[in-house]
Amino acid sequence: MALARSGVAVMQKLAMLLPLVSAVLMSSPVRAEPVKGIDGRTVEVAVPKRVVAVNSALVEILFALGKGDTVVGTDVAGTYPPALEKIAKVGHPYHPSVEGIISLTPDVVVASEENMPSATAEQLRSAKLPVLVLENSSKDGVEGLKRRISQLARLYQVPEAGQRMIQDIDTRLGALQKKIAAVKKKPRILFLYAHGPGEAFVYGRDTGVHVLIELAGGQNAADFTTGTKVLTAEGMVQASPDAIILLHRGLKAVGGPEGVLKMPGVALTPAGQQRKIFAVDDTIRWVGPRFPQFADTLFNDLHATPRP
Q: What are phi and psi of 260, to 5 degrees?
A: -65, -40
What average pLDDT does the segment 63-83 reach?
95
- C-beta contacts of 293-297 below 8 A and 24+ residues apart: 293/172, 294/212, 295/173, 295/176, 295/212, 295/215, 295/216, 296/172, 296/175, 296/176, 296/179, 296/216
Find how far residue 249's CA is from the centre of its chain.
18
Q: Which domain holds residue 157?
A: 35-168
Average pLDDT of the chain to the nearest whole number: 90
What average pLDDT does the segment 119-133 reach?
97
Lowest mean pLDDT among 12-16, 89-93, 133-137, 179-183: 12-16
Classified as helix, coil or strand, 136 is coil
Regarding whether 149 and 50 lie in a shared domain, the answer is yes
Regarding whether 198 and 145 lie in a shared domain, the answer is no
Regarding whether 200 and 144 lie in a shared domain, the answer is no
Regarding whether 120 and 95 lie in a shared domain, the answer is yes
Q: What are phi and psi of 122, to 5 degrees?
A: -70, -35
Does residue 26 sit within a domain? no
Does residue 50 sit within a domain? yes
141-155 vs 56-64: helix axis angle to the nearest 10? Answer: 60
What average pLDDT does the segment 70-77 reach?
96
Tell me how far apart the alpha carbons of residues 42 and 32 are, in angstroms, rounded to a whole number. 11
Does residue 148 sit within a domain? yes
What is the band of 308 on the pLDDT scale with cuts at 50, 70, 90?
Answer: low
pLDDT at 199 over 60: yes
Regarding whether 189 and 157 lie in a shared domain, the answer is no
Regarding whether 105 and 216 lie in a shared domain, the answer is no
Return the sign of the alpha-carbon dihedral for residues 105, 126, 37, 148. Answer: positive
pLDDT at 151 over 70: yes
Q: Which residue has the higher pLDDT, 305 or 27?
A: 305
Regarding whether 135 and 106 lie in a shared domain, the answer is yes
Regarding whether 49 and 157 lie in a shared domain, the answer is yes
What is the band of 11 on the pLDDT scale with cuts at 50, 70, 90?
Answer: low
Regarding whether 154 and 42 lie in a shared domain, the answer is yes
* Domain end call among 168, 201, 226: 168
Regarding whether 129 and 190 lie in a shared domain, the answer is no
* Domain end call among 168, 198, 216: 168
Does residue 256 sit within a domain? yes
Q: Domain tally for the chain?
A: 2
Classified as helix, coil or strand, 113 is helix
Does residue 16 sit within a domain? no
Instruction: Return all residues near 152 (Cβ < 8 A) that are at least 6 apart.
Output: 58, 61, 62, 65, 110, 134, 162
pLDDT at 1 over 80: no
* N residues, the chain: 308
Regarding whether 238 and 134 lie in a shared domain, the answer is no
* Domain end call among 108, 138, 168: 168
Does residue 66 sit within a domain? yes
**148 and 111 in contact (C-beta within 8 Å)?**
no
Q: What is the pLDDT of residue 216?
A: 97
Q: Where are the alpha helices (DSSP H) in 88-158?
A: 98-103, 118-126, 141-155
pLDDT at 4 over 60: no
pLDDT at 47 over 80: yes
Q: Where are the alpha helices (DSSP H) in 217-304?
A: 233-239, 248-253, 256-261, 270-273, 291-302
% of the chain residues with pLDDT over 90: 77
Q: Which residue has the higher pLDDT, 128 or 6?
A: 128
Tens digit of each residue's pLDDT (9 = 90 or more) over 51-68? 999 999 999 999 999 999
Q: What is the pLDDT of residue 206?
A: 87
Tell me how far apart the alpha carbons of residues 57 and 67 are, in angstroms, rounded to a whole number. 14
Tell me how far apart the alpha carbons of residues 219 and 199 are, in angstroms, rounded to a whole number. 24
Q: What is the pLDDT of residue 27?
A: 47
Does residue 153 sit within a domain? yes
What average pLDDT does the segment 235-239 reach?
91
**100 and 54 in contact (C-beta within 8 Å)?**
no
Does residue 29 sit within a domain? no
Which domain CATH number covers 43?
3.40.50.1980
What is the band of 103 on the pLDDT scale with cuts at 50, 70, 90?
Answer: very high
Regarding whether 240 and 198 lie in a shared domain, the answer is yes
Q: Which residue has the higher pLDDT, 33 or 53?
A: 53
